[in-house]
């Protein structure tokens, strides 16, 4: 694996130590020999033109921002065919890696006030972050925070309703519904992502998740399902905090907070001495699932999961056939919910073709489960008017999918597939 340690970029930045590695860029500690200061240098490892353009957009977006809670960008350039950004070196931990038992309610609220203050400044300058998540917030030893990685940001005036599935980049767990529906994104989209972050901080989990790593199910949740209330997950969450989180997580942007300062006002009210405020316990006390404080292993798992979500998100944003597959599967799920069988069938068939084109066997198999379940629901309701050809097609598709689950020891999916296969065969027998 290529490393730049020991090299000098742009005849100025002497690269010293690798301090972070991501899917598309590595971050090094380096010495600015001209100004005699230590800096962070982010070096692009992807070489295609699209990624180079996005990397340059990150530099331009961040260089416009000068705020105490935003990581400063000093320089950007290209050296020996390496594109790089020179940034303020931050000594701290990401919010994603901080165990919840280390935070009190008041500390968490203060962190989010600073995060929102940074976003308010960016929004006022026409910049939407577009990738807000705990892994992009650094917690400094002083207790203050720094928002970083405006790599997915673009000027608000550049966003339109023409956004395609291929432009949906970021981390799935934190994206707002409008990003999946191809609608315009704006400052309120960042506020939704902050709502997901707060939900996770106060409950220990994101509002929409999938135990089987089914990304489409997560997307469907963001678009179509109400999140469980924070207090239903953790009884210790103050009711006032729950109200703020739930308003941030409104599906329709018009129903959310409209600006970051509005949220800041409500959070500061909770901290005020005359407001009645909130008590200040550790965040996990009274949690419904467990009263035990998280262990070091819990913190490590949370960090690993955050890293995995980043990788999944980058994969999602990079491959056009995969994008089409996810988008069409989501359309199929929504159509099934409405009982629009023709649209559901069309969407699932399109998704299966897209995943097959991408040679993504496991997503193809998962979509086959959803398609088979839709066909069963439709033809069970139809009773004597069941479509034998459609049922036979679903049986064939499902039969081809089952070995994918069997070979990966995906027991839950395999059992569900076998159940659906048996039910579809009974429908076929009944209609002879």
Active-site amino acid positions: 131
Task: Give the integer Cα–Cα distance in Å for 429 and 432.
Answer: 6
Name the residue among 357, 308, 354, 366 with its Cα closest to residue 327: 354
Name the residue among 71, 117, 68 with its Cα closest to residue 91: 71
Pinpoint the alpha helices (H) of 358-385: 361-382
Which strands form 8-9's sheet, in the order they lie side by side? 8-9, 13-21, 25-32, 37-44, 82-87, 73-79
Query: Which residues on adjacent β-strands are paired with residue 70?
Result: 147
Task: Give the integer Cα–Cα distance in Å for 212 and 220.
Answer: 14
Residues 6+ apart with CB under 8 A from 152: 54, 58, 129, 130, 131, 169, 170
Task: Give the integer Cα–Cα distance in Å for 120 and 109.
Answer: 16
Task: Give the integer Cα–Cα distance in Å for 336 and 330.
Answer: 10
Inter-axis angle of helices 388-407 and 361-382, nearest 10:
150
Residues 6+ apart with CB under 8 A from 140: 90, 91, 92, 146
Structure tokens of 117? 């203050």
Inter-axis angle of helices 361-382 and 411-430, nearest 10:
30
- Give the CA angle between residues 301, 46, 314 to the nearest 5°: 40
- Give the CA angle between residues 346, 349, 354 to the nearest 5°: 120
CA 389 to centroid of chain Cα atoms: 39
Name the residue among 205, 214, 65, 240 with its Cα closest to residue 149: 65
| Four-CA torsion 377, 378, 383, 388, nearest 10 degrees | -110
């Amino acid at each position: 694996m290529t490393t730049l340690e020991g090299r000098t970029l742009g005849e100025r930045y002497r690269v010293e130590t690798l301090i972070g590695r991501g899917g598309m860029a590595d971050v090094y500690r380096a010495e600015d020999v001209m100004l005699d200061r230590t800096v962070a240098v982010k070096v692009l490892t992807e070489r295609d033109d699209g990624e180079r353009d996005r990397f340059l957009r990150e530099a331009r977006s961040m260089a416009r921002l000068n705020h105490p809670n935003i990581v400063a960008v000093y320089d950007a350039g290209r050296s020996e065919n390496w594109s790089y950004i020179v940034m303020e070196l931050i000594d701290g931990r990401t919010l994603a890696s901080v165990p919840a038992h280390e935070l009190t309610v008041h500390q968490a609220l203060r962190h989010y006030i600073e995060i929102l203050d940074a976003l308010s400044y960016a929004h006022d300058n026409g910049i939407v972050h577009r990738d807000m998540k705990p892994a992009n917030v650094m917690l400094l030893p002083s207790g203050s925070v720094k928002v970083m990685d405006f790599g997915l940001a673009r000027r608000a005036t550049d966003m339109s309703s023409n956004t395609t599935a291929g432009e949906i980049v970021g981390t799935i767990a934190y994206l707002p519904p409008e990003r999946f529906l191809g609608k315009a994104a704006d400052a309120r989209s960042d506020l939704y992502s902050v709502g997901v972050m707060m939900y996770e901080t106060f409950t220990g989990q994101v509002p929409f998740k999938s135990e089987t790593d089914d990304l489409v199910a997560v997307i469907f949740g963001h678009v179509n399902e109400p999140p469980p209330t924070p207090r239903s997950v953790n009884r210790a969450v103050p009711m006032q905090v729950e109200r703020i989180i739930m308003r941030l997580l409104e599906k329709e942007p018009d129903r959310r907070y409209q600006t970051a300062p509005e949220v800041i006002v409500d959070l500061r009210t909770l901290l005020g001495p005359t407001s009645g405020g909130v008590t200040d316990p550790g965040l996990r006390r009274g949690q419904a699932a467990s009263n035990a404080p998280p262990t070091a292993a819990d913190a490590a798992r949370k960090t690993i999961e955050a890293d995995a979500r980043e990788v999944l998100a980058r994969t999602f944003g990079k491959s056009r056939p995969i994008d089409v597959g996810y988008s069409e599967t989501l359309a199929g799920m929504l159509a099934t919910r409405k009982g629009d069988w023709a649209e559901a069938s069309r969407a699932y068939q399109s998704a299966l073709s897209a995943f097959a084109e991408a040679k993504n066997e496991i997503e193809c198999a998962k979509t086959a489960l959803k398609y088979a379940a839709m066909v069963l629901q439709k033809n069970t309701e139809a009773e004597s008017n069941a479509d034998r050809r459609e049922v036979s097609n679903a049986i064939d598709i499902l039969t081809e999918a089952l070995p994918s689950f069997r070979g990966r020891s995906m027991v839950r999916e395999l059992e569900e597939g076998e159940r659906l296969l048996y039910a579809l065969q009974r429908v076929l027998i009944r209609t002879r």
